[in-house]
Amino acid sequence: MKPIVQISLDLTQIDEALETAALAVRAGVDWLEAGTPLILAEGLHGVRKLREAFPEVPIVADLKTMDGGYLEAEMMAKAGATHVVVMARAHEETIKMVVRAGKDYGIKVMGDNLGCDDRIAGARRLEALGCDYVIHHIGYDERRGIAASGQRMPSPLDELREVVTAVNVPVQAVGGLTLEQAVKCPEYGAPLVVLGAPLTIDADAFKTADGDLETSLRLICEKIHAYGEV
C-alpha cells in the first residue's frame, strides 16, 4: 500500500483538536486519530465533532479496547470513526468481538501490541484473530520509566522489521519516534506513519506544539508520500 500519514490528536479539548486537525488536513495528512486523551475528555462527542468537520477523512478512535469489544467498536462506528483500536493483551473473545463489529459496521480494526512480553508474537496473534492492521507500540510510561532508571529508552524501531516480516497486514510504529525516524518508517516496510508526541504534540502538556506546525507537517507529508508502494 502507499504510505499513509496519520496525526494523533492526543489533546484534551475538542476546539484545539479541531483546529489542529484542520491545519493537518490542509498540510496533506491522510488520517485523523482521536487520541486516547481526547476520547477520555470528550468521548463520542469528540469523534462526532471530528466527523462533522471532516466528512471524508478517515478517523481512528484510539480506544485501546480491553473488554466490551463489540459495544465499544459499535459506538465509535456510529459516531463516525472508520478505524478502532483493540489491544493484543485483551482476551481473545474481545478481539474477535471488535473484529465482528468491524465487519458489521464497515470499519477497520487496528490491533495494538503495547505491553506484550513478546511483541512479535502479539502482532501475529492480532493478525490471526482478524485485525486489519498492527500497531507496534512502545508506551509513553514505559519509555519514560526506563529512561528515568538510566537505561536506554526503547524504540518501536528496535523490532519493527521483525514485526513487519511476521505479519501480512500493514504495520504502524508508535512510541516516541523522532521526526527523522517517523519519516523513515516506510523504509522498514511500515506504511502507516503516525505523527504525534513529540513531533506535533507537546508530550508534557498534551497541547499542540509551538512553531509553524502546518509548514512542518506539509514537508513531512511530502517526504512520506514520496515513497512508492510499501
Task: Express each pLDDT in 62-81 by its tens digit.
Answer: 999 999 999 999 999 999 99
Partners of 86 in beta bridges: 65, 111
Q: In angstroms, rounded to a whole number, what is the distance separating the alpha carbons of residues 102 and 40?
A: 21
**Is residue 121 predicted with pLDDT exceeding 50?**
yes
Q: Which domains does the chain have, with CATH numbers?
A: 4-225 (3.20.20.70)
Least confident of 5-14, 80-89, 151-160, 205-214: 205-214
What is the pLDDT at residue 207? 47
Average pLDDT of the chain, as a whole number: 92
What is the pLDDT at residue 216? 81
**Is residue 20 predicted with pLDDT exceeding 70?**
yes
What is the pLDDT at residue 210? 60
* Terminal alpha carbon distance of the chain: 5
**Is residue 84 predicted with pLDDT exceeding 90?**
yes
What is the pLDDT at residue 46? 97
What is the pLDDT at residue 206? 43
Per-residue confidence at 180, pLDDT binned at 50, 70, 90?
confident
Q: In angstroms, rounded to a whole number, what is the distance separating the alpha carbons of residues 223 and 168?
A: 25
Across the range 179-193, mean pLDDT stands at: 92
Residue bearing cell 463516525: 80
pTM, entire model: 0.92
Per-residue confidence at 215, pLDDT binned at 50, 70, 90?
confident
What is the pLDDT at residue 176? 83
Partners of 137 in beta bridges: 174
What is the pLDDT at residue 209? 55
Cell readout for 7 is: 496525526
Q: In angstroms, rounded to a whole number, what is the distance separating the alpha carbons of residues 75 and 10?
A: 20
Per-residue confidence at 208, pLDDT binned at 50, 70, 90?
low
Looking from the CA of 187 toward its CB, the CA atoms found within 13 Å total 7
Across the range 75-93, mean pLDDT stands at: 98
What is the pLDDT at residue 178? 82
**Is residue 218 predicted with pLDDT exceeding 60?**
yes
**Is residue 200 predicted with pLDDT exceeding 60?**
no
Cell readout for 182 is: 517517523
